[in-house]
Amino acid sequence: MSQWFFDRLYEKTPDYYGRSVRPEFDRFLAGFASGERIVDLGCGQGRHALAAARHGVHVHAIDQSAVALDQLAKEAAIGELPITTEVADLASWQVPDGRFDGAVMVTSLDHLPLPRIVAIETALRDGLNAGARIYVESFTDSDPGYRDASGASETHVPVRHYFASRELERLFGRWKIVEFREFLSAMTATAPRTCTAWPCWSRKARGRIEIERRRQAAFRLGWTADM
């Protein structure tokens, strides 16, 4: 369902989510040197991939929507940005070993069942380069869409898993948490408001998570420069 849903959404609105990114993501990018490589899992139309590429990071953008990737590739070509694309389903995509220095997952894990989310966490921990960092945004069960409530985003339809409070933090408990927040954020989009009322309020868990290879890693919350 998710593929045709987003193909149709992106065909109607080439810039559905806009181009702005969260300050947390800017802080995440500050930890990468020019030329390092990240993978953007479930990139959509590519606002985070574009921001990373403009920072000098080489981005491999993955999504199951060919429509979104075609739009992203055209914009990357115009700006001569270091972005490659791949049409793939995160339900089966495999993390190549030693290829990437980081990963981005912005409201993409939500579209997978929990066992697959757990498998991706393990694959990233094992497959990313040593010292890699990842950035995650996920909807929690405080979102109106969790109960199909009035005011839910129209994009809640394909969501498979809403995270309970602190669940994302626990899922990545074998990593060193650099920054973790749960908060309400106003949802905005440029699409025609045909399905639900906008803006709505949505609780998201956002995490900037830095890999720690040691199994008995110290667990840290909040911002820290401690490696």
Q: Is the peptide bond before 199 cis (omega within 30 degrees of 0)?
A: yes
Walk me through the domains of the chain, giving residue ranges and CATH numbers. Answer: 2-210 (3.40.50.150)
Query: Which H or E element spans position 181?
Result: strand 176-186
User: What is residue 7's three-state secondary structure?
Assistant: helix
How confident is the model over 5-52, as pLDDT tens digits? 777 777 787 777 777 888 889 999 999 999 999 999 999 999 999 999
CB–CB of 220/177 below 8 Å?
A: yes
Torsion of CA 107, 142, 160, 205, to 10 degrees: 30
Q: Helix (H) and strand (E) counts for the chain? A: 6, 7
Q: What is the pLDDT of residue 34?
A: 94
What does residue 135 show for φ and ψ, rounded to 5 degrees?
Answer: -125, 130
* CA atoms of 25 and 6, how far apart (whole Å): 23
What's the pLDDT at 122?
93
Percent share of the chain, pLDDT over 90: 45
**Residue 186: what pLDDT?**
57
pLDDT at 204 over 70: no
pTM of the model: 0.79
Q: What pLDDT is stored for residue 72 in this prediction?
A: 96
Question: Residue 222 has what pLDDT?
Answer: 29
